Structure 1
């Protein structure tokens, strides 16, 4: 159970971009908790991306701002430089993950135990997961594969989210109503992930805030970071 409750909501956002500032304001407004997955060697980097034919800002939070910006939430690893781990050998996988984790610990001042796999498509496999499990101090790692269900999972090193907010809006909103109505007899997790810069593509900030307002404030739901939700119940 999650602090005596059968249901939990948690969020996970990648890359540590400056749009996280606005996203965190929304989370804090509604009492929601999230985990933010950062590339420590890219902090402060100014950049743009082309997404759906639009140029979007992809500037990273500066190293000196990280502790303050993410206060009250969780900082987790996302590798040093965002490579596709399935294309690397064991030594480089360990370096990318463990050095990122250690760098972030120095910045935030607490143990960093989680991560999200970088890159789209097939960005993880059993080999990579086992290297991370056996040769780093990471305790859980999130994939990008949506399950569309709320059940607990056994494999913490290939932990799948429920839904990807930006590409699965309608599904997310339907799942929201299902989750609110749910009266489970076993622990259930609603896990949403994405990138905060994606809200700029179609100016969907208001839509996401409406979702946050809808999912928040329910007495039978625990709102926590990935660490608080996953490590309490899925070990």
Structure 2
């Protein structure tokens, strides 16, 4: 029996997520447009900048980003590889604490300010409650990340239409799971006067029944649950110990294993 852990929710094999930094006022337009097209993503915020000129106010965080994900970006946006370890801890924990007080849920991800990090920074993150951290190094692929603490996106949003076309055109039946991950800053749309590009992207990629639209943390949580499946020696019995359903491929058919379920694949 051939089993592959290569399905997103609903048995889909493709997912799209976006990622935007800094919490600038242009997020108001960006979030509205993303919601219009059913796009989801993470907004990495610097809590120390709330209320400053050009930045959102703390009071609007819970409503503005409802349905999206609020994620950390440190309190003051330093180069994390250049500051003392003690300040690294405070930058992340202060940011998490402030954001969690506003959103009412644990903040488990972040993006690296200035896209800078090193091995010492990465090794500290699990102890600070961080499960994923996005870089600014584009892969130009749709591959799943090998390390969520060094999560490289597909491309900057300047290339979103180009890669959107490639993403949709790939219909290989035996392909692996594909993730299209776009990053950027909302103020860039206003600066470059190309909000229409985001609208074109929404028209192109949004509303597809075979695509899972997810936040960054939803993808991490799902992949963690998928990788925690317990398999019998025979390969016919699988146990999902997690609190969410996961999907796998069995003999080229999508199969759901519900939260807590023990499934005997020979009986299906």
- What's the offset of the Cα at 1:174? 2.4
Distance 2:191 2:48 in 1: 26
From 136, 139, 142, give the equivalent of 1:150.
142
Distance 1:223 1:208 in 2: 16
Residues 177-186 or 25-34, more deviating: 177-186
Partner residue, 1:193: 183
Other structure's SS at 2:8 match: coil
Q: Trace 1:41-52 onto structure 2 (pairs within 5 A).
A: 41-46=48-53
What 5-or-longer segments of structure 2 have no aligned partner? 1-6, 228-268
Distance 1:159 1:60 in 2: 26
Other structure's SS at 1:219 match: coil
Q: Trace 1:203-222 onto structure 2 (pairs within 5 A).
A: 203-222=193-212
Other structure's SS at 2:113 match: coil
From 154, 171, 176, give the equivalent of 2:164.
176
What 5-or-longer segments of structure 1 have no aligned partner? 47-58
Partner residue, 2:14: 7
Distance 2:46 2:38 in 1: 26
**1:27 equivalent in alignment to 2:15:** no
Distance 2:13 2:72 in 1: 28
- What's the offset of the Cα at 1:88? 1.1
Partner residue, 1:131: 124
* Contact 2:23 2:43 survives alignment (8 Å): yes
Partner residue, 1:160: 152
Partner residue, 1:114: 109
Partner residue, 2:76: 81
Distance 1:119 1:44 in 2: 21
Count of paired positions:
216
Other structure's SS at 1:100 match: helix
Partner residue, 2:258: none
Other structure's SS at 2:18 match: strand
**1:71 equivalent in alignment to 2:71:** no
Query: What's the C-alpha RMSD, in Å, of the aligned pairs?
Result: 1.3
- What's the offset of the Cα at 1:103? 1.4
Distance 1:177 1:230 in 2: 25
Distance 1:149 1:61 in 2: 32
Distance 2:157 2:142 in 1: 15
- Give the 4+ runs in structure 1 shifted more than 6 A: none
From 115, 132, 147, give the equivalent of 1:140.
132
- What's the offset of the Cα at 1:89? 1.9
Distance 2:221 2:23 in 1: 22
TM-score scaled to structure 2, two decimals?
Answer: 0.78
Higher RCO, 1 or 2 (CA under 8 Å, sep at least 6)?
1
Q: Larger C-alpha radius of gyration, 1 or 2? A: 2
